[in-house]
Amino acid sequence: MPPQKRHRDFGWLFIVCAGLLPLVLGILCTAIEARHTVNQQQVSTANTLLSQAEKMSDSAWNMITTLRQYHHRACADIEENLQRAGTLNAYFRSIGMLQGDHISCSSAYGLNHGALAEMMLQPPPVTGKAWWSLSIRGTLGVPDRPAVIFVRQLPDSSGFWAVIDGQYLMDFMHAIGESRGYQMTLQFNGGAIISSGPDEQPGQLYLKSAQYRAESSRYPISVNVTVPATELVKAWRQALFIFLPMAAIFSILLMVLTANWLRRRLSWADEIRRAMRNRQFSVHYQPVYSTDIERCKGAEALMRWQLPNGEMIRPDIFISHAESEGVIVPLTQHLLDLMAEDIQSWQVEPDFHIGFNVAAEHLQHPDFVQDVMRFARRIKDKQMTITLELTERSLIEDGEMVARKLRHLQSHGMKVAIDDFGTGHCALSYLMTFPLDYLKIDRGFINAVEGLETETPVLDAIINLCHKLELDVLGEGVETSLQFAYLRQRGVGLIQGYYYARPMDNDRLRAWLNEHGRKPLLVEESHEPELHHS
């Protein structure tokens, strides 16, 4: 698990939020969409009602125009005609003629019916206009059912009138609004309200009922359509029913994408890159002893990663992740930069060996030679010998090209070593193919040493092989005086291990080199398996 991930494992919070996002957005969007749909239906309902009211007004005014043919005629003569016209035309409750404020003739009552105000159950409006209409709560004959009266007054104070029964309008409103629970009202010239539908209901949660008012451009008619909150909620629920399965799919998709993104974000590769930027890597150096010149001959660079909280990540762990996640090349370039910085402060003899591990991928990389050459240039004035420590595995691919690169670097004075020799499960033919300078025998073979005179066949065979191939040989992981003495006795020229010195940081290395670097290693005679404490 990448180090950062272990410390702030809040990924699940991101995933939950990502899952909730489409749902929350969906709920909001469907609420807006439901309101929009309801609003459109409301506008269309209001317009339909308005156009029906206009159509009725047209009928009423046409009827009044027809009545003009009876002008100046006695009521007794025309009463029958009025009755026929009133009955045979749709919508009308009654029609008739006026004389001043009095009704002079009516399709419903013939001659005797009194004042217009009596029939309307209210005084006629003072409009100052020859044409007017008004919605009224009832008429003398039908007092509890609304109606609309249309009046045309002539200059000689006579006139004509028509009353449309409000029931037609109420039925129409009912037909177009009942299924949606609309509450509708209609007014002619600000008169009595003709209404249909349920009374206004209290809002649901934060949803309030929606009102829409429309006015006719031809007549003084206004309509109001109110959609109750319950209808809005119903429309919202319907939209949710369609949308929710989609939102659920989006949720799952987004959660999977977020999880993938988090995994990528918290990958080792990202953490390693971040650690390089934050200079969390440093280099430790483990001195190498030469049994020939009896002093320190060089050092191997080993990378260290320390987190801000002081915790160390083991190199074998982060190196293998860097290799598998494709960041070993930048990491090794970073190592070379750090080494070059450290080495500026060293005071070592010419030909002091500085070795570092080269990963297989870096060896195949087009920048490899250039990276190493740049490092060599940076430490040129120290006249050190650079040793490239390769694993057997890294020689398997692109052998020809790798051999060419190694020869090129050797021509600039560098050495090539095989690290952990004997553990790579490789055919030994590469020993003939590649330009090698020395082998580093893996710690596993050295651990097998039991006594100075006892044979350790595999180790002995490896050492003999090196001698036969005229390769230098280095014993790795030497922890005891017995192992040290054994290797020295069999002509192993270079020794590395805790017995001589542990890996140390740059400051400690400089101090160590000053104090111990030029001294021969005094081997305890007892050959007890104890660590040398330097």
Ligand X SMILES: Nc1nc2c(ncn2[C@@H]2O[C@@H]3COP(=O)(O)O[C@H]4[C@@H](O)[C@H](n5cnc6c(=O)[nH]c(N)nc65)O[C@@H]4COP(=O)(O)O[C@H]3[C@H]2O)c(=O)[nH]1
Contacts to ligand X by CB under 6 A: 286, 302-303, 315-316, 319, 335, 356-357, 359, 419-420, 443, 477-479, 497-498, 503
Q: Which residues contact 524 (CB under 8 A, 6 or more apart)?
A: 481, 530, 532
Contact 494, 291 (CB under 8 A): yes
Contact 122, 176 (CB under 8 A): no
CB 15 → ligand X: shortest distance, Å?
Answer: 34
Using CA atoms, how far residue 502 sits from 289, 327, 524, 533, in Å, is: 12, 27, 18, 9
CB 299 → ligand X: shortest distance, Å?
Answer: 11
Contact 371, 336 (CB under 8 A): yes
CB 330 → ligand X: shortest distance, Å?
Answer: 12
The smaller minimum CB distance to ligand X, of residues 160 and 268, is found at: 268
The smaller minimum CB distance to ligand X, of residues 53 and 288, is found at: 288
The smaller minimum CB distance to ligand X, of residues 113 and 334, is found at: 334
Tell me the two tokens of residue 377: 């240039």
> For 315, what's the count of Cα atoms within 13 Å in the CB-facing half-sphere?
13
CA–CA distance, 188 with 221 (Å, rounded to integer)? 5
CB 351 → ligand X: shortest distance, Å?
Answer: 22
The smaller minimum CB distance to ligand X, of residues 207 and 426, is found at: 426
The smaller minimum CB distance to ligand X, of residues 64 and 338, is found at: 338
CB atoms within 10 A of CB 503: 19
Contact 292, 496 (CB under 8 A): no
The smaller minimum CB distance to ligand X, of residues 251 and 480, is found at: 480
The secondary element (H helix, E strand) that includes residue 136 is: strand 131-136
CB 258 → ligand X: shortest distance, Å?
Answer: 33
CB 338 → ligand X: shortest distance, Å?
Answer: 9
What phi, psi does 472 have (nearest 5°)?
-70, 155
The smaller minimum CB distance to ligand X, of residues 141 and 315, is found at: 315
Contact 93, 148 (CB under 8 A): no
Among 352, 338, 375, 374, smallest CA distance to 506 is for 338
Which residue in this structure is represented by tokens 């009704």? 103
The secondary element (H helix, E strand) that includes residue 150 is: strand 147-153
CB 463 → ligand X: shortest distance, Å?
Answer: 18
The smaller minimum CB distance to ligand X, of residues 120 and 441, is found at: 441
The smaller minimum CB distance to ligand X, of residues 302 and 465, is found at: 302
CB 334 → ligand X: shortest distance, Å?
Answer: 9
CB 358 → ligand X: shortest distance, Å?
Answer: 7
CB 531 → ligand X: shortest distance, Å?
Answer: 8
CA–CA distance, 186 with 48 (Å, rounded to integer)? 12
What sign does the CA torsion over 169, 175, 178, 180 have? negative
Three-state secondary-structure class, residue 57: helix
Q: Torsion angle of alpha carbons 164, 166, 170, 175, nearest 10°?
A: -20
CB 478 → ligand X: shortest distance, Å?
Answer: 6
What is the 3 state secondary structure string of 318-346?
HHHHHHHCCCHHHHHHHHHHHHHHHHCCC
Q: Between β-strands 312-313 and 221-227, what pairing exists: parallel, antiparallel or unpaired?
A: unpaired
CB 13 → ligand X: shortest distance, Å?
Answer: 35
What phi, psi does 514 have (nearest 5°)?
-60, -45
The smaller minimum CB distance to ligand X, of residues 165 and 479, is found at: 479
The smaller minimum CB distance to ligand X, of residues 295 and 304, is found at: 304
Query: Would you report the helix, strand and coil content of the chain in percent, each value rounded to 5?
Result: 45, 20, 30
The smaller minimum CB distance to ligand X, of residues 94 and 357, is found at: 357
